[in-house]
Amino acid sequence: MSIALLPATELALRIRRRDVSAAEAVEEILERIALLNGTLNAYCLVLAEPARRAARVLDKRLERGEEVGPLAGVPVAVKDVLWQRGVPSCDGSRAHADFVPEESAAPVERLEAAGAIPIGRTNVPEFCYRGVSVNDLYGATGNPWDPGRTPGGSSGGSAAAVAAGLAPLALGSDGGGSIRIPASFCGIPGLKPTYGLVPRAPEWPGWQTLTHVGPLAFTVADCALMLQVLAGPDPRDPRSLPALGKDYVAAAAGERDLSGLRVAVSVDLGYVRLDDGVRDAFRAAVERFHGLGAVVEEAHPGLGNPVDTWNTIACVDNAASEGPLLESGLVGDDARGLIEPGMSVSASDYARARNAMSDYAAAWGRFMNRYDLLLTPAMSLV
């Protein structure tokens, strides 16, 4: 198998053993990017020379017998919304085209400290507002399985990069499906972690209570290894959780016997319209849990669709964070259409939406006290 198509867990092990070099791994990924990115547009910026330099440094450290971290030499793609020191970090917008941060976001810092090598920045919808990945600055990203179709969004560039073998790992973020949608559309594992488990700061000001940062990867084990590196508090992010003491890598490598695991199953949460193909695929997945010994029960908390609450919070946040950019004339029409509605929401309506958000989360918490896991389809359509 090509080095470029190895799971991150195996690639890091081979590099630490010096069976292959970090330089070789980076070069193979860059060759695949050169071959495929012109079609897919997964990367909006390729960091070829910085990646090569970082690989050479890491290989020299290995020669000296130094410890280089659990992600030794693994190329990683970084979503364009996450700040990266000295690198244009544009959030898919012409209004931020000249922005070069002086400090990296905590997830980028942690991946580099663990030996990973950022190899490029991946495309997003403007300000990460949509479930597709297209913007006026960099254009549209295609799905590796069919470039004429969307990979989803807003982490569509990251998911497309992993699915096409243009990086074994990628950073994504999710405030309304932005890891889950592209993971589903591209056929790879993706994880939206518990809120605050992965610190985000420093960052853009929007969606402070909505966004989670997490991994997209070749395998579930790769997601676990990446989360192990990313999780934990950061003093710059007051929303970050204390260390939870979890071994995600060991959990991902656990027994396949699920006897006694309490699993709630809901095909539609009581309100989602689904394609028949999704129902069929979901039914097959549920049967696998039956076969592995789980105690499966059809159940959901009986809550209504929270989309109105989510839209109120998101659009007011948009108005507060990106609204000042409208006068530049550089914000696209689609993004403008998700900023301006937030300007007419009253303070009391916004407060009510925040309260409804808390009530909704509490209801889910009570429901999940009865179960270890909830299974639902990732997306409603095929």
Active site residues: 79, 154, 178
Alpha carbon dihedral 166, 168, 171, 172, in 10-degree steps, equals 80
The Cα 18–Cα 291 span in angstroms is: 41
Cβ neighbours, 10 Å, residue 178: 34
Cβ neighbours, 10 Å, residue 243: 10
Q: Are 322 and 127 in contact (CB under 8 A)?
A: yes
Residue in the block written with tokens 């006026």: 136
The Cα 280–Cα 121 span in angstroms is: 36
